[in-house]
Structure 1
Amino acid sequence: MTAPDKPAHADGGTHVPSPADPLHRHEPLPWHHPKPPEEDPDAPERIRRILASPSYREAIEDGDFLRADHTRGARLQLDYLKPELALREHGIEHTVVAFGSTRLVEPSAAQAHVDALRAQTAAQPDNDGLRRQLATAKRILQKSAYYDVAREFGAIASRAGRHARGGQLVVMTGGGPGIMEAANRGAHDTGTESVGLNIRLPHEQYPNPYITPELCFRFHYFAMRKLHFLLRARALVAFPGGYGTLDELFGTLTLVQTRSIAPVPVVLVGEAYWRRAVDFAYLADEGVIDHEDLSLFWYAETAQDIWDGILAWYEAAGKPLLEPDGTDD
């Protein structure tokens, strides 16, 4: 077969054209400009309506489409995938999860609130509402010591977590104030990164300032947030809290009870609080849980007690949490 003729030049060589510009052309293509009004006076208005139509928006730029009921499946996938990829990128494979009330602020803030309410109550001694608020504030002040415990625990776990088997163990919280802030703050005190999983709510909220910025995520779905709490969890530490804390605690206990997930250490901080908040022994005596389910958790009071208990749990399981040459201080 004869080779096709090549373009000839005066010097007898072959002309190789310069590479085309990746974006721009010297001559525009027909669709680079709308139909001119000289050809159809109604064309500009028709084009304007087409470009303004929701159907013309790309799917990823169409907020109404993305928020519709029929795209919930895609939103669930994205809600899972974004933090998952970021956590992988940062090499985070193991976490210790801390929960607790957003209302258990640091002691100085709790004391300031009590002092303010005392002054208001003194000025309005017959105000029953103020007296109730003061009584509640005093109880919060008593429990504010748990803020310091959570902060110390966050520091202990973060320092020791650098020597965890299989990769660094980092603190993860719900990202809010109170106990969650304290645990993130403890990690921040040691110069260690920590994770916060916020949730989109109908009212304004802010993450606490001690989360590593690149590791603070906001979820739309509680279910995806709960999934990420447990995907990497090596322990769950529950401080005194309300509905949210109870929700996460019972969700975890149910998954462990049914062996839907491998057992993990579950620590309830503040025995006096938890024994009154939830009568686990009563549930067992009534037969709605088994007595063996009472061994799925234990109580602790101090930050060091929490950490020592977690280490002991893993030793008993034959899977030491720290490397042999690691530290548990």
Structure 2
Amino acid sequence: MDERDDAPAARRSELTARNFPTAEQEAAIQAPPSLYDGPESAFRLAFTDTAFLLREDMRAVRMQLELLKPELVQREQSIESTIVIFGSARIVPPDVAQRMVDDARSAADATALRIAETHLSMSRFYEEARRFATLVTEKSRRLAVPIYVVTGGGPGIMEAGNRGAHEVGGKSVGLNIVLPHEQAPNPYITPELCFQFHYFGLRKMHFLMRSIGLVCFPGGFGTLDEMFEVLTLIQTGKSKRRPVLLFGRDFWTRLINFDLLVETGMISALDLELFRFVETADEAWSVLEAEYGFAQGSPSSFGDLATDI
């Protein structure tokens, strides 16, 4: 090949070349040891100075970073539409629950047996969350906009959601939170989509930004917090109305007296239409299928959950 053939490409490259080095290139420059490389020195680049970034006055910058990092990475990974799975970190898989029952029986420990039998009863929700994530991942592959499962990234129901997607070769997102007691990400999250948050508010914002549906399994304070924030945003018109599915009518109606809220005027009867009870993964998918017309075709876009969230 004649060297002259490369000339036009070289000239085009010159026309579009950067005039300044990238931040990454600048950060990689290794300065020789000097009087100014000690921990007390202010010489290092601001964006490589962890002590500076962790100052109290830099909170707004850290919050912006927590907003931008998951947003930019998900955009790069072509994550446009998601379904969020909320639920307890304490619900274990059926095989683990069965071992707990067997161990308690072997030890003739009545208290441990009672606890283990409760775990075994609740473990059905682990399997439903796992199966639901599998259905979402498999059935949405044919859509113009595939749907990805998002969880809080921890154990229990969160693990089941990521696991269901992983087992059929799909990507899934985990939005972990730093807690006083360590919460390691479950092993089924797609590594490039496993995020860690310091701020609960920004984490909850990312749960909703791409969500076309929210599925709540039994859980404690964290699950209730997430569920009621979603219902409040929809009730007040701050976000677009999306399906909110509560798995396990018996659990939710024993936990929350929705009828009392209506009877006392705390909510309107129409607010009860903001959510729906389901019992199985297949039923939950059928609700979404009817809502978005998956069975009839492949919608090109689900739209934003909210215009300003």
TM-score greater than 0.5 by the shorter chain: yes
Query: Amino acid of the residue matched to residue 252 of structure 1?
Result: V
Q: Distance in 2 between matches of 1:52 and 1:210?
A: 39
Query: Amino acid of the residue matched to residue 229 of structure 2?
Result: G
After superposition, the C-alpha distances for 1:147-201 in whole angstroms (9 at most, x for unaligned) are: 1111111111111111335x11111111111111111111112111111111112
Contact 1:193–1:212 (8 Å) recurs in 2: yes
Matches for 1:118-133 after TM superposition, within 5 Å: 118-122=105-109, 131=111, 133=112
1:324 to 297, 304, 309: 297
Q: Distance in 1 between matches of 2:224 and 2:298?
A: 37
Residue 173 (1) aligns with residue 146 (2):
no
Query: Amino acid of the residue matched to residue 267 of structure 2?
Result: I
Q: Distance in 2 between matches of 1:229 and 1:279?
A: 26
Residue 276 (1) aligns with residue 254 (2):
yes
Query: Amino acid of the residue matched to residue 112 of structure 1?
Result: R
After superposition, the C-alpha distances for 1:89-140 in whole angstroms (9 at most, x for unaligned) are: 0111000111111111110101112332344454xx7xxxxx2x44233212
Q: 1:268 to 1:33 in 2, by over 3 A?
A: closer
Note the residue ranges of structure 1 that are not aligned, 5 or more in a row. Answer: 1-21, 23-31, 35-46, 126-130, 315-319
Q: Please state how far the C-alpha of 1:204 moved relative to its aligned partner.
A: 2.1
Residue 237 (1) aligns with residue 215 (2):
yes
Q: Distance in 2 between matches of 1:48 and 1:290?
A: 69
1:117 to 104, 110, 119: 104
Report % sequence identity: 47
Residue 226 (1) aligns with residue 204 (2):
yes
Of residues 196-205 and 289-298 in structure 1, the stretch that sits farther from structure 2 once superposed is: 196-205
Residue 152 (1) aligns with residue 131 (2):
yes
Contact 1:164–1:322 (8 Å) recurs in 2: no
Q: 1:33 to 1:173 in 2, by over 3 A?
A: closer
Q: Distance in 1 between matches of 2:206 and 2:86?
A: 14
Q: Distance in 2 between matches of 1:323 and 1:54?
A: 64
Q: Please state how far the C-alpha of 1:325 moved relative to its aligned partner.
A: 6.1
Matches for 1:245-264 after TM superposition, within 5 Å: 245-264=223-242
Contact 1:104–1:147 (8 Å) recurs in 2: yes
May I ask how many residue pairs the two structures share in their alignment?
Answer: 270
Query: Amino acid of the residue matched to residue 230 of structure 2?
Result: T
Contact 1:95–1:169 (8 Å) recurs in 2: yes
2:115 to 136, 150, 153: 136
Contact 1:269–1:301 (8 Å) recurs in 2: yes
Q: 1:58 to 1:142 in 2, by over 3 A?
A: same
After superposition, the C-alpha distances for 1:205-239 in whole angstroms (9 at most, x for unaligned) are: 21111111111111111111111100000000001
Q: 1:135 to 1:196 in 2, by over 3 A?
A: same
After superposition, the C-alpha distances for 1:269-325 in whole angstroms (9 at most, x for unaligned) are: 0111011111111111111111110000010111100110122233xxxxx346616
TM-score by length of 1: 0.77
Q: 1:85 to 1:323 in 2, by over 3 A?
A: farther
The CA RMSD over aligned residues, in Å, is: 2.2
Helix, strand or coil at the partner of 2:166: helix
Note the residue ranges of structure 2 that are not aligned, 5 or more in a row. Answer: 1-20, 22-30, 300-309
Q: 1:156 to 1:303 in 2, by over 3 A?
A: same
Contact 1:239–1:268 (8 Å) recurs in 2: yes
Contact 2:36–2:43 (8 Å) recurs in 1: no
Residue 214 (1) aligns with residue 192 (2):
yes
Q: Distance in 1 between matches of 2:218 and 2:162?
A: 17
Q: 1:325 to 1:164 in 2, by over 3 A?
A: closer
TM-score by length of 2: 0.82
Q: 1:177 to 1:266 in 2, by over 3 A?
A: same
Q: Distance in 1 between matches of 2:32 and 2:182?
A: 44
Helix, strand or coil at the partner of 2:35: helix
